Structure 1
Amino acid sequence: MQFTFDDFVLNQDRRELTLRGDVVAVGPQVFDLLLLFVSNPDRVVSKDELLEEVWSGRIVSESTITSHINALRKAIGDTGEEQRLVRTVARKGYRFVGQVRVDDSGLQPEVNVRPTARPSALALPDKPSITVLPFHNLSGDPEQEYFADGVVEDIIAALSRIRWLFVIARNSSFTYKGRAVDAQGVGQELGVRYVLEGSVRKCANKVRITGQLIDATSGAHIWAERFEGLLDDIFELQDRITESVVGAIAPQLEQAEIERAKRKPTESLGAYDYYLRAMAKLHSGSREAVEQALSMLYKATELDPEFASAYGMAAWCHFWRKLNGWMTDRPSEIAEGIRLARLAVSLGRDDAVALTRGGHALSHLAGELDSGIALLDRARLLSPNLAPAWYLGGTLRALHGETEAAIKDLSHAVRLSPLDPEMFRMQVGMALANFFARHFDVAAQWAEKALGNLPSLLVGVALLAASLAHVGRMDEAQLAMQRLRELDPTMRLSNLKDWLPIKRPEDLASFANGLRLAGLPE
């Protein structure tokens, strides 16, 4: 159904408000308010009815209702003084007095159309929870997008080091990049109480960062601040934002805990720029993107020889090349990856990112599975909300034979980052854990999910072929094997133990048998 008033069109099916063809960004509850009003034109809608229809009967404060009415008026060009379209009826409620036209659907304006139900919200964790949305780049320079993104990533990382705080991972937060969103809707989708949003304006050597913290359960603004300074002080500005956010969430927080949220990845902004650019490339998982990221990470370490996170991510690039059969000089590239990983974990003893990526790379490149798990365990102690530490650690535990613990860790990673564009990493980890637990049907399902997100994922294809063969689905297993041979013609059963660091002989045998049944040569 479509409602027209003034130059506005409200489309109920698309849940969209437009003004002369241009979309007007409104939050879900503001949309529901407007839909309720235009569905009942020139009739007083009581506050009790508002609570029932828009807030599903939940009791909210008078100020919350007022703030949403004000937001509605602003969206449709009305004011509380003018009340041209939405009129307040003292002690009764509100009345929509604009002329409403309904499309030719057979329904009349007086029919009470209930707002479209919103998806059920995730349950809030039992501790304070937050997501940091991508900050708007107000620099007028698209090339500076990476800088604004990097500021947000470091704030997420800093908040993640606070053990009592549940922080949504970067990849899920960034699915909202470039979208007009409502803090309350985001809170429901991600299952968090607080939403931090803001903007970054960079001009020459000056930067201005603004931020505001919103209680997503009520829409109330808790805190807002603006920080200005020179780029030389960018990390200090980030620390001040983090400190203010943490203080707003838990005023009783001791200063020592605030200090733990202040970690600077490097003092060299040039190196940091290269690191941010590399991180922007890595999330796709493609061969070309990984090669470009690796080049940038080397530049970062040249400018800052003690940049632990950059060494860790560079080592991890070499691991990803090995896993997907992309290495051209395998012995020397593996040796280089090991060198970088050892530098990462040595320089970054208190750097969760360096320990996560470096430790994971050592497990695969040097076969040091036990040490790698220990390093990722330390990373999780340092940064309990770092999703890669959970899903990469879970994958290592699967390779170690700890399938139950692996599935638990991987499930927690999905909860930390439920909208992650790199979900294929978690899915292939779940496939691996279920395969070694001999749940071959389940393993095949997870492998198919991973390949749906990244069709070129070699380990996903191998797990799919072996799982299908174990359950007797031979035609499908042979098709998967054909795909495997296309991705890596050099793959053989004899080099399987050099491809993945599988700890238990029985797990390696099960994997080899499945691939043998699917048609992989000896």
Structure 2
Amino acid sequence: MAKRHVERRLAAIMATDVVGYSRLMEADETRTVRSVRHLQSSILGPKVAARGGRIVKLMGDGSLVVFNSVVDAVDCAISLQSRLETRRKNQRVDFPLILRIGINLADVVIEGEDLLGDGVNIAARLEAAAEPGGVCISDLVHRQLNTGRRSDFLDGGEISLKNIAHPLHVWHWRDAPAIRPSAGSLARPTSIAILPFEYLGGSPDQAILSDGITEDVISGLARFRSLTVIDARSSFRFRDKHSDLDEIGRKLGVTYLVVGSLRRAGERIRIVAQLIEAASGMHLWSERYDREVQDMFAIQDEVTQMIVSTLVGQIENADVRQALRKPTTSLVAYEFYLLGLAHIRSYGEDDNQHALTMFSAAIERDPHFGLAHAHLALAKIALNGYANSPSDVLDEALALARKAVALDEGEGGCQRLLALIHVNRREFELAERHYRRAYQINPNDANTLVQMGGLLARRGKLDEAMEWIDEGFRLNPFPPPWYSAALGNALYLVGRYEDAAAALEELPSPGPFTYARLVACYAQVGDTIATERARAQLLELCRNFSTDDFIRRGLLLERPEQLDLFRQGLLKAGLPP
């Protein structure tokens, strides 16, 4: 049997680890795994390669990297942490990953693809001793740096490291970010989150009803300006999780939580709802409702009314009636509508077609269901390329969205989706009018805030645009991916190209138009390596890419100077005109 090649040499070893990885996996396993893979392939890998390092091992949430010099290792670590801090600032949420990094200098044994030796263990212990977002280096590493770089580190003295016999003198990067407290530390007296109602017993495919009740209670509460209501997308991240309620309250930034359950047996439904003070766990109110299935919407009305009464006291009867409006009287239509929502929010190849089918079925069961008409309009343009849809599809979508508003004038979601149709028809004045109307109806709809911010950016109202987008991220601290697209576009237009790229990199399934934006961002920053990588990915997806075609079809911008700004970035990257 051939012997494996063994190499001994002096090397700088960098160990990294994701802070709170187990907690993140518990909260959202799929998104955590995707984010770690993105970190490793799109950020860590290029940073290491640019400084001549080699990734020896990837270990789920951590990595082991070897460099020929401590200067390269330290420069890579600081560059990596600085980049991640930029991403955290841009995303307005605590989900972008936080790393600890440790660096040691030692003789190591390189055997095949593995790295062995006590120096490797010490690097791992230094990583554990680092602050979140920080870099911890050994004294030996510190002494190898030049005077300027040494001043970037604070003396951490001698510390004892786990399973290391002797104390070690360490240094900490002085500019490590003070990781901001999660949104939960900013709780407001009248802020509330409704956690997904638990479905108990019966056919699993009926559990969608409990999700529907949860979303409708959120929608009802969100119409009251005196409440800050967390978006459903963020609340639903805590489905089936066993976190303490005070921890959930801190993560979501709320004082009050509503928890509940639904049990369906034949034609009977039992709903239990509880209002809880998150920090103390004190139950402020609870109620049980036993009803026939056909009374389900009356139950939702009662739950909403009781929660609001407990939190904000006396509310005018007219406002209560507005919050207790029913989306449909047909349970079957409602179930089709919920299935449509599940598809329109997903990114599968056939999801838009399935969404269109479900919304059409909902309308067949209830022709007066306004939200189903509005979402059918969205599904039609999504299936046909949004703004690039044929004119007859855009006309049909506009007619559906207008009908939705006529059927349900007081539903903010209908107004918002009508505005979105106008955006894709490049009718920006009408779009802004309907977004403002949607906001008047429901000021706590984070989707309206972010979409409105995106529109204002397209219209050149950049300062106001960022205010709307910031508020949308605050109300929805665990946002859907498309928020990043709106944020990235706005940041590019204000000239924050590196920040714009960091936002766009969050999109899970980038297409040609996203890669084109990334190319423009990198080119404007002057990052030639990233520019070439994104350019190659773009041309692989779209071999006949044309800058003029992208400007015409891929950008919904009102001002000529904004179009020129994108054209400048694309041409600077060497893309064909």
TM-score normalised by L of structure 2: 0.65
The aligned counterpart of 1:91 is none
The aligned counterpart of 2:553 is 498
Per-residue deviation, residues 323-379 of structure 1 (Å, max 9, x unmatched)? 579x8x744433333332332333332111111122112211x11112112111111
CA distance in 1, matches of 2:458, 2:385: 14
The one of 384, 391, 403 equivalent to 2:462 is 403
State the number of aligned residues.
403
CA distance in 1, matches of 2:407, 2:330: 15
The one of 188, 199, 203 equivalent to 2:250 is 188
Per-residue deviation, residues 393-425 of structure 1 (Å, max 9, x unmatched)? 1111111111211111111111111123x1x22
Give the SS at the match of 2:184.
coil
Give the SS at the match of 1:192.
coil
CA distance in 2, matches of 1:272, 1:401: 39
The one of 528, 532, 541 equivalent to 1:478 is 532
The aligned counterpart of 1:254 is 316
Partners of 2:439 and 2:449 within 8 A in 1:
yes
1:411 counterpart letter in structure 2? D
The aligned counterpart of 2:364 is 302
1:444 counterpart letter in structure 2? A
Query: How do residues 123-134 of structure 1 correspond to structure 2 at under 5 angstroms?
Result: 123-134=185-196
The aligned counterpart of 2:573 is 518
Q: 1:332 to 1:121 in 2, by over 3 A?
A: closer
Partners of 1:160 and 1:384 within 8 A in 2:
yes
Partners of 1:294 and 1:317 within 8 A in 2:
yes
* Percent identical: 32
Give the SS at the match of 1:391.
helix
Are residues 1:415 and 2:474 paired? yes
Deviates more, 1:306-315 or 1:132-141: 306-315
The aligned counterpart of 2:121 is none
Per-residue deviation, residues 251-287 of structure 1 (Å, max 9, x unmatched)? 2333333222112112222221111111122222333
Per-residue deviation, residues 286-342 of structure 1 (Å, max 9, x unmatched)? 3322221121111112222222211222222334345579x8x74443333333233
Give the SS at the match of 1:460.
helix
Are residues 1:375 and 2:434 paired? yes
CA distance in 2, matches of 1:293, 1:519: 39
The one of 179, 199, 212 equivalent to 2:241 is 179
Deviates more, 1:409-418 or 1:264-273: 264-273
Give the SS at the match of 2:474.
helix
The one of 497, 512, 517 equivalent to 1:440 is 497
The aligned counterpart of 2:202 is 140
The one of 511, 522, 544 equivalent to 1:468 is 522
The aligned counterpart of 2:340 is 278
Partners of 1:373 and 1:393 within 8 A in 2:
yes
The aligned counterpart of 2:328 is 266
CA distance in 1, matches of 2:457, 2:426: 14
The one of 393, 396, 414 equivalent to 1:333 is 393
CA distance in 2, matches of 1:190, 1:472: 37
Q: Which runs of 5+ in 2 are unaligned?
A: 1-20, 24-161, 164-179
The aligned counterpart of 1:352 is 412
Deviates more, 1:154-163 or 1:506-515: 506-515
CA distance in 1, matches of 2:378, 2:544: 22
Q: 1:158 to 1:321 in 2, by over 3 A?
A: same
The one of 482, 486, 506 equivalent to 1:429 is 486
Partners of 1:161 and 1:383 within 8 A in 2:
yes
The one of 278, 298, 301 equivalent to 1:236 is 298
| Alpha-carbon shift at residue 120 of structure 1 (Å) | 5.8
Q: 1:467 to 1:160 in 2, by over 3 A?
A: same
The aligned counterpart of 2:274 is 212
CA distance in 1, matches of 2:183, 2:401: 40
CA distance in 2, matches of 1:120, 1:310: 36
Partners of 1:360 and 1:396 within 8 A in 2:
no
Q: 1:456 to 1:331 in 2, by over 3 A?
A: same
The one of 311, 316, 320 equivalent to 2:373 is 311
Q: 1:158 to 1:273 in 2, by over 3 A?
A: same
Give the SS at the match of 2:350.
helix
CA distance in 2, matches of 1:14, 1:392: 33
Give the SS at the match of 2:270.
strand
Give the SS at the match of 2:269.
strand
Per-residue deviation, residues 179-213 of structure 1 (Å, max 9, x unmatched)? 12322111111111110001011122221111000
Instruction: State the Cα RMSD in Å.
Output: 2.6
CA distance in 2, matches of 1:351, 1:489: 44
| Alpha-carbon shift at residue 490 of structure 1 (Å) | 6.2
Deviates more, 1:334-343 or 1:438-447: 334-343
Query: How do residues 51-130 of structure 1 correspond to structure 2 at under 5 angstroms?
Result: 122-130=184-192
TM-score normalised by L of structure 1: 0.72
CA distance in 1, matches of 2:207, 2:485: 31
CA distance in 1, matches of 2:544, 2:440: 40
Per-residue deviation, residues 196-232 of structure 1 (Å, max 9, x unmatched)? 0010111222211110000112211000001121222
The one of 212, 217, 224 equivalent to 1:150 is 212
CA distance in 2, matches of 1:295, 1:488: 30
Give the SS at the match of 1:287.
coil
Query: How do residues 31-50 of structure 1 correspond to structure 2 at under 5 angstroms?
Result: none
The one of 443, 446, 452 equivalent to 1:393 is 452
Partners of 2:498 and 2:525 within 8 A in 1:
yes
| Alpha-carbon shift at residue 14 of structure 1 (Å) | 7.5
CA distance in 2, matches of 1:161, 1:517: 47
Give the SS at the match of 2:225.
coil
CA distance in 2, matches of 1:490, 1:206: 59
| Alpha-carbon shift at residue 431 of structure 1 (Å) | 1.0
Partners of 1:125 and 1:166 within 8 A in 2:
no
Partners of 1:193 and 1:216 within 8 A in 2:
yes
Partners of 2:187 and 2:250 within 8 A in 1:
no
CA distance in 2, matches of 1:459, 1:238: 42
Per-residue deviation, residues 126-163 of structure 1 (Å, max 9, x unmatched)? 55111000111113321012111111011100110111
CA distance in 2, matches of 1:254, 1:335: 40
Q: 1:330 to 1:515 in 2, by over 3 A?
A: farther
Q: 1:482 to 1:310 in 2, by over 3 A?
A: farther
1:429 counterpart letter in structure 2? A
The aligned counterpart of 1:114 is none
Q: 1:478 to 1:361 in 2, by over 3 A?
A: farther
Q: 1:313 to 1:195 in 2, by over 3 A?
A: same
Partners of 1:310 and 1:354 within 8 A in 2:
no
